[in-house]
């Protein structure tokens, strides 16, 4: 009999599919919010709905040579976690007591939003050294777990993410290069017609 993945591995696998919708030039990040083994919302990083994608408008952070983890204010996009929370708010879905699964650990900005939204657990694959994000999540009693992502998806040529931290180092935060994305689906999504 074939062994089945754990729930964490299953949901982390889905985050990589969500990340494939990202329009960020630097990094593709996907997130899903889950409660009681049910997906509540999804989000990926990229420009806000209705605005030009980063590939069309360009990346100011790239043009200015802004290092990873600095000057989030120069990014036109939203992080995957932010989009997942925005989708919940737009559709009246409470995320209280939920788990956020993400291809990357959250940055400090996303960590604060997750805490205030009532997310109780964060499971991520790729890390980023954001000590404050980790500290705030820990202080708020949010469980912070590093999971394993599917190797075949992480090695796909279109997947770009920050290098993972060596074992035993601080799992830190989120790829600050993660730049937004609506997470919307269906007929109301700006890309529903198939145009990008």
- The rounded Cα 37 to chain-centroid distance in angstroms is 19
Residue 108 carries which DSSP code?
A: H
Strands 99-104 and 38-44: unpaired
Is 81 noted as a catalytic residue in this protein? yes
Q: Catalytic residue among 81, 138, 143, 148, which?
A: 81
- The rounded Cα 88 to chain-centroid distance in angstroms is 14
- Residue 73 CA to residue 183 CA, distance in Å, equals 21
Residue 73 carries which DSSP code?
A: G
Given a contact cutoff of 8 angstroms between Cβ atoms, the answer to whether 31 and 102 are in contact is: yes
- Residue 161 CA to residue 127 CA, distance in Å, equals 9
Active-site positions?
81
């Amino acid at each position: 009999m074939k062994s089945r993945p754990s729930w964490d591995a299953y949901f982390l696998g889905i985050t990589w599919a969500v990340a494939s919708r990202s329009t960020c030039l630097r990094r593709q990040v996907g997130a899903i919010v889950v409660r009681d083994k049910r997906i509540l919302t999804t989000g990926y990083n990229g420009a806000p709905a209705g605005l030009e994608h980063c590939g069309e408008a360009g990346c100011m952070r790239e043009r200015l040579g802004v290092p990873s983890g600095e000057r989030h204010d120069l990014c036109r996009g939203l992080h995957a976690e932010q989009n997942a929370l925005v989708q919940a708010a737009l559709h009246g879905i409470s995320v209280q007591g939920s788990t956020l699964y993400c291809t990357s650990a959250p940055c400090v900005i996303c960590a604060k939003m997750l805490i205030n939204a009532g997310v109780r657990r964060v499971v991520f694959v790729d890390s980023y050294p954001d000590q404050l994000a980790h500290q705030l999540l820990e202080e708020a009693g949010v469980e912070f777990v590093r999971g394993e992502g599917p190797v075949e998806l992480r090695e796909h040529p279109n997947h770009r993410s920050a290098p993972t931290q060596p074992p035993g180092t601080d799992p830190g935060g989120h790829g600050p290069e993660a730049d937004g994305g609506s997470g919307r689906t269906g007929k109301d999504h700006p890309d529903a017609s198939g145009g990008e």
